[in-house]
Structure 1
Amino acid sequence: MTHRQVMEALSGLLLAMFVAMLSSTVVTNALPRIVSDLHGSQTGYTWVVVATLLTMTATTPLWGKLADLFDKKLLVQLALVIYVVGSVVASLSSSMGMLIAARAIQGLGIGGLSALVQIVIAAMVSPRERGRYSGYLGAVFAAATVSGPLIGGVVVDSALGWRGVFFIGLPFAALALVLLQKTLHLPTVKREVRIDYLGSTLIVAGISVVLVWVSLAGSQFAWASVTTGVLVAAGVVLLAAAVLVEIKVAHEPIIPMQLFRDRTVALATTASVFVGVSLFAGTVYLSQYFQTARAMTPTEAGLMSICMVGGLSLSSLVTGRVITATGRWKRWLVGGAALLTVALVLLGTIDESTSLVEVGSFMALLGIGVGATMQNLVLAVQNSVPLAQLGAASSVVAFFRSIGGSVGVSVMGALLATQVSTKVNEGLTQLGVDPGQTHESHSIPDLASLPAPVRSVFEQAFGESFGHIFMLAAPFALLALLCVSFIEEVPLRTSNTELTAMERQVADASPEATAELVETTLVGAAGRAETDRP
């Protein structure tokens, strides 16, 4: 494909990716208002995010496998339709349960879009050129992350209210469907289809049980309790069974375990888990920090997010261009992971009184680190696997990044709920106020409606607690740095065409050696045919 043809096909793909990213960022600034209106708790706040991450995580490998078996364009369009259905249901939600279910439906579509867009780009463009187009993908990610909080904040503060937030992505989804139909034309390879239903079911069940445990422990039951033991044991058994099925039973495994024999794939997917923790910690909880600890409106919180997204946008574009020009990618992974670690340590020092200039600087560093690592981890894996496994390998990286995000959001949400509840109860008791008369345990009240002394207690509790959860995320970024440091840098392929072992020998051999190789191969084939004759 020429550059023009690639860019035409990318128009619909990038718009589809914009829809997927927008659906997450546009809701973050609305969540405090949504949870307050629907009388939800901090656990409910967490699960509005986790429900989307869970279904996105669990289905990403399935979408990747389907991409190796079916028409990729049709799959992208199907993912868009599922997203639209989830958005409409979310806008009509009358309870936290209904909203969480709608967000789970949205996650199905988002999982397809986030996996399939990168798979289609990989099918069109060689690894060496892919850094250039990954830069465009990073720019779209940044644009959605910048515009989402701003648009979401403005809509929430308008007459449309928070329900209008879920309609924002619908026009973009409709336009993406039309553009994909007109511009994306990829060959479809037909072969026998065997979907690993058992493996995918066990993966979904195992991850769900683990997330239920980490999100509810500390509020609904104690960390050290019989319920914890049952949930942990069930999660371990289900995930172990899933691994066994993928290795021994499945003909077309959702997660091909042989991929992890490759050192680059194993280290990059492990690093993506830890990067996921950092990414979602920043996008989910910084918005809540500004609204609960700094008394900002959703619009003002959206403006603050520009700091992080500006760094992410610049980092994605620059690293993509430089990698395409030089073919060197490891140094950017190492540098990005190092910045992630430093940024999270610095964010771990914030509270309700920290200078906004300092907070914005820390957010910019976090964005630069995410931009340099997230897309380039996918690129490193795609460069290390055969073309036939491109879809599965790409989705595996996204899958493990989403696992990191899901578990990270759940753990940090549970820690935040426990710490805030404890600090608020202590603060209100010192004021001589009965905590039970002002709020329910682990609930998120409308701070604007509270008396000034009580509101100050909540703001201080939230401010101190957010610093603790960012500090908790810092060791995970350090582990990501260790993983990418041990990845062996392999020069990026300049073509998607794969050579067989014989073709590589022929390409490298002299004319005389080539003739001898061909003659040896033909004689060997004739001998085998004679031996096999009845």
Structure 2
Amino acid sequence: MTSGFLIIIAKLSDIFGRKNFIVLVLGSFIAFSIGCGFSNDMTTLIVVRAFQGIGGGGMYAMAFIVLPEMVPISKHALYTAILASTIALAGLSGPLIGGTVNRNHDNTFAWRWIFLLKESSKKWRALTVENFKSIDVIGLLLLLGASILFVTALEKGGTRYSWYSVITLSLLIISFVLWVLFWTWEWYQSNHETKQEPLGPHLRGAAMTTVIINLPQRFHVVNGNSPLEAGYRLLALTISIPFGSFIGGFLVQKLCIPFIWVLMGFAPLQIAGLVLLGFSSSNKDISRAIYGYQVVAGLGLGGSLGVSIMMIPFIATKQDMATLKRKDFEDQRVIRLAAVGMSGSGQFRALGGSIGIAICTNVLNNHITSALSSILSPIQLNELLQSTEVLTKFPPRLLAITRKAYSDAYNTQMLLLAAFSAATLMTTVLFWERTPRRMTKS
């Protein structure tokens, strides 16, 4: 749900005001977080969690939107690096906090504290008919439908439903049609005078999001670490991602190196780190080398994230991101369209993360099914795919075989993410210009 609402929230904040929408999405996130904390069954938790994701996505989007409007152009690189570092630290601290809260497995209320964090309320201005006339409802529905159906198909295909089942194929086909209609509609909106403002104006996020989730799982399943131990073994990645982001900002702002050169320099680090992680040992004891691999991957991921955010104002058209000259903000339409440039990048980065997780989950499930179907009974295999906690019931020999299968699956995931990163490097080349864009000290 988070990846489907970022651009939509950006456009609504244009119409109803930044402050009002920050308060709204924050209040929504808090309210549904409380709802998650008091959920009594899985169905309720899933539904309320989806609405919490909308509020969380709104908070994510609004941070990117207000940055160029509040920060002088000369300080864009610094604050963008801080923002990128905050995102990385927030994502990487999740396993540590979650592991700490759930350390006592006998305390069934422990997980609820993850959601019961804050409360807040504020007032916001009245809505007008003219506000609603500016909403691109068609574009909003097309984008939302295309994003959600595509991610759902990737998550369920090959696990609950066959890739060739009617449900999976229908979701993929309908999603494809909706994407085509969305981009066609946005092209029309951008080239014709209409009362609605176009929603549409990048897939960099699969690697970092998936690594943050999959590495702790590997430490827990393959190496037998507790959730807390699995979380702190990510510290090498936790530290190196923000550090890479600040290095990228220094190269771009202080040394005035073109954006594309810096991105192409960080990409090999990202690819190399993921490839090295893809050849991790299946032994229960963790090799110290894996922390070095995390540092290499983290520097590449952090540098790429920070620079890709910094470069938006310098590569987008004025219509999509007009922050190069402060006087441009005298044009209210330019202000509204500027929000789409930042939130659009955030949406596709989040969507890339969702797609990466869905694909890697399918790779894991298919590999485990293929490797263990002749060893485990159908009931055991189904229980294992639902929760790895059943490993505590396996005898030592079967446990060793299962851990080896999971190790191979996690290695395959890392190599797949390295391929994603290589594809990202190829798309970066599309930004090549005879005179590459860079920041100037002036």
Shorter-chain TM range is 0.7 to 0.9
Sort the Cα spacing of 1:91 and 1:280 in 2 relative to 1 into closer, same or farther, 3 A: same
SS at match of 2:288: helix
Q: Distance in 2 between matches of 1:169 and 1:212?
A: 24
1:470 matched to 2:417? The reply is no
As a proportion of its length, which structure holds more helix? 1
Among 89, 94, 114, the alignment partner of 1:148 is: 94
**Structure 2: gaps spanning 5 or more residues:** 125-129, 323-333
SS at match of 1:157: coil
Shift of 1:455: 2.5
Shift of 1:287: 1.5
State which drifts further: 337-346 or 246-255.
Answer: 246-255
Q: What are the superposed Cα offsets for residues 213-269 of structure 1, whole Å, 9 maximum, x if unpaired?
A: 22222223322344443222222222222223223357434533xx4xxxxxxxxx2
Residue matched to 2:328: none
Among 401, 407, 411, the alignment partner of 2:355 is: 407
1:84 matched to 2:30? The reply is yes
Sort the Cα spacing of 1:437 and 1:416 in 2 relative to 1 into closer, same or farther, 3 A: closer
Sort the Cα spacing of 1:468 and 1:378 in 2 relative to 1 into closer, same or farther, 3 A: same
- Superposed, 1:55-454 pairs within 5 Å as 55-158=1-104, 161=107, 163-165=109-111, 167-168=113-114, 171=117, 173-174=118-119, 194-248=134-188, 251-256=195-200, 259=201, 269=202, 273=203, 275-328=204-257, 329-353=259-283, 355-383=286-314, 384-386=316-318, 387=322, 388=334, 389-428=337-376, 434-436=377-379, 439-440=382-383, 442-446=385-389, 447-454=391-398
Q: Is the 8 A contact 1:293 1:460 kept in 2?
A: yes
Q: Distance in 1 between matches of 2:181 and 2:416?
A: 30
Q: What are the superposed Cα offsets for residues 305-352 of structure 1, whole Å, 9 maximum, x if unpaired?
A: 111111102112232244332343333212222222112222222242
Q: Is the 8 A contact 1:142 1:310 kept in 2?
A: no
Q: Distance in 2 between matches of 1:164 and 1:325?
A: 47
Q: Is the 8 A contact 2:134 2:195 kept in 1?
A: yes
Scaled by the length of structure 1, the TM-score of the pair is: 0.70
Sort the Cα spacing of 1:162 and 1:360 in 2 relative to 1 into closer, same or farther, 3 A: farther
Shift of 1:478: 0.6
Shift of 1:163: 4.9
Q: Distance in 2 between matches of 1:163 and 1:246?
A: 47
Structure 1 residue identity aligned to 2:386 = S
SS at match of 1:371: helix
Q: Is the 8 A contact 1:311 1:367 kept in 2?
A: yes
Shift of 1:290: 1.1
State which drifts further: 154-163 or 287-296.
Answer: 154-163
SS at match of 2:53: helix
Q: Distance in 1 between matches of 2:419 and 2:92?
A: 27
Sort the Cα spacing of 1:294 and 1:457 in 2 relative to 1 into closer, same or farther, 3 A: same
Q: Distance in 2 between matches of 1:220 and 1:191?
A: 42
Sort the Cα spacing of 1:162 and 1:418 in 2 relative to 1 into closer, same or farther, 3 A: farther
Q: Is the 8 A contact 1:421 1:441 kept in 2?
A: no
Scaled by the length of structure 2, the TM-score of the pair is: 0.84
Shift of 1:147: 3.4
Q: Is the 8 A contact 1:254 1:392 kept in 2?
A: no
When the two chains are superposed, the root-mean-square deviation of aligned CA atoms in Å is: 2.9
Shift of 1:401: 1.0
Structure 1 residue identity aligned to 2:159 = S
Sort the Cα spacing of 1:424 and 1:102 in 2 relative to 1 into closer, same or farther, 3 A: farther
Structure 2 residue identity aligned to 1:133 = Y
State which drifts further: 277-286 or 456-465.
Answer: 456-465
Q: Distance in 1 between matches of 2:173 and 2:381?
A: 38
Sort the Cα spacing of 1:82 and 1:127 in 2 relative to 1 into closer, same or farther, 3 A: same
Q: Is the 8 A contact 2:102 2:110 kept in 1?
A: yes
Residue matched to 2:326: none
Q: Distance in 2 between matches of 1:491 and 1:166?
A: 47
State which drifts further: 477-486 or 296-305.
Answer: 477-486
State which drifts further: 147-156 or 482-491.
Answer: 482-491
Sort the Cα spacing of 1:321 and 1:66 in 2 relative to 1 into closer, same or farther, 3 A: farther
Sort the Cα spacing of 1:319 and 1:193 in 2 relative to 1 into closer, same or farther, 3 A: farther
Q: What are the superposed Cα offsets for residues 421-480 of structure 1, whole Å, 9 maximum, x if unpaired?
A: 22222344xxxxx45357537322412343323322322221111111111122110111
**Structure 1: gaps spanning 5 or more residues:** 1-54, 182-189, 260-268, 429-433, 496-534
Q: What are the superposed Cα offsets for residues 493-520 of structure 1, whole Å, 9 maximum, x if unpaired?
A: 789xxxxxxxxxxxxxxxxxxxxxxxxx
Q: Is the 8 A contact 1:214 1:411 kept in 2?
A: yes
Shift of 1:64: 1.6
Larger gyration radius, structure 1 or structure 2? 1
Q: Distance in 1 between matches of 2:37 and 2:133?
A: 37
